Amino acid sequence: MRQPISRGRFSAGAAAAFAGIVVVKSRALADQPQFQYKFASNISVDHPLNVRMTQMWNAVNQETKGRLKVQMFPNNQLGGDPAMLTQLRSGALQFFTLDGGILQSVVPVAGIQGVGFAFKNSADAFAAMDGPLGTYVRKDIEGKGLYAFEKMWENGMRQITSSTHPMKTADDLKSFKVRTPPGRLWVDLFKSLGAAPTPIAFNEVYLALQNHTVDGQENPYAIIDTARLFEVQKYLTVTNHMWSAFWFLANGDAWRALPPDIQAVVSRNAVKYAVRQRRDTALLNASLEDKLKRRGMQVVDADTATFRAKLRESKFYERWKAEFGPAAWDLLEAKTGKLA
């Protein structure tokens, strides 16, 4: 026969059971993140940007003991860049990587990173953007309700691809139907070169090339490869006409809602993984020419002196010096030398 449970034993048993519930609940609580955020990007999951972002957010989740969990949405899963930028500004999206030339629609001076032929290579560009010019742009970004992390993430020097013909001299760009990202400086750069630019968000580029809405586009080697643009483009002309990189952005309110210790974990890892991603992407961009040739692309070098002459003729630099203002322009020319 079961012995009746004494009051003393009952209360000890109940206490242990309750403690068990509390322990289970608190463990369950730890599994329920305090903050559940979203990160989005416009490039494919196998690009170094998303490879390193995945590693970074896993590290952040570990180091915050599960308090911040960030779900990844690569490859335009949440829409094109303009739509994702709207989501970031509204707070529906908390983290986003975006080229300054597209961010220009909200932060005009962010377009300065893409001034045609300003930077000779990524190392020179990062020297500028990791310095006073980057600080200047970051301040303007934060003035628009967004938070910009210290280090930008690499895209690379942009090259022109086309389905019609190589772009060896500026004359070859006459009336060339070229896709550009949705950014005012991009459109002006190619208009100044005599082309017929159409701004299209990256999630629609492959199809626009495939159905000949446009005859070409421009991007670094790693994007041409990871987005498989070699399947719909025949020629790759090496122009290095513009440097391209992504600001790593947060919605300002969402960022400020994070406790300082979580912010510190994110900021520290953002620097660590940006530096690794820059190196990965630089190595990838430098390694792809032969692979793209094997994929059937014809690679030629442009006579970029004719491109620069065309930009000077059309007062491109004077126009953008006036647009960005003397303070930002002086910071740019401190790194590039005289442009206008």
| Residue 41 lies near ligand X2X (rule: CB under 6 A) | no
Min CB(52)–ligand X2X separation in Å: 16
What amino acid occupies position 185? L
| Residue 155 lies near ligand X2X (rule: CB under 6 A) | yes
| Residue 307 lies near ligand X2X (rule: CB under 6 A) | no
State the SS3 of 230-285.
HHCCCEEEECCCCEEEEEEEEEHHHHHHCCHHHHHHHHHHHHHHHHHHHHHHHHHH
Judged by CB under 6 A, the residue of 111, 181, 197, 252 near ligand X2X is: 181
CA 131 to chain centre: 19
| Residue 223 lies near ligand X2X (rule: CB under 6 A) | yes
Min CB(262)–ligand X2X separation in Å: 28
* Residue 55 near residue 23, CB atoms below 8 Å: no
Judged by CB under 6 A, the residue of 95, 153, 202, 320 near ligand X2X is: 202
Residues 310-329 that bind ligand X2X (CB under 6 A): none
| 73's tokens | 């949405």
| Residue 42 lies near ligand X2X (rule: CB under 6 A) | yes
Min CB(68)–ligand X2X separation in Å: 26
How many residues in the shown chain lie near ligand X2X by CB under 6 A?
A: 9
Nearest to ligand X2X of 244, 285 (CB atom): 244
Tell me the DSSP string of 107-127.
SGGGGGGG-TT--SSHHHHHH
Which residues, at least 6 apart from 274, have a Cβ–Cβ distance to it below 8 Å? Answer: 52, 149, 151, 152, 153, 248
Residues found near ligand X2X in the complex (CB under 6 A): 42-43, 99, 155, 181, 202, 219, 223, 244
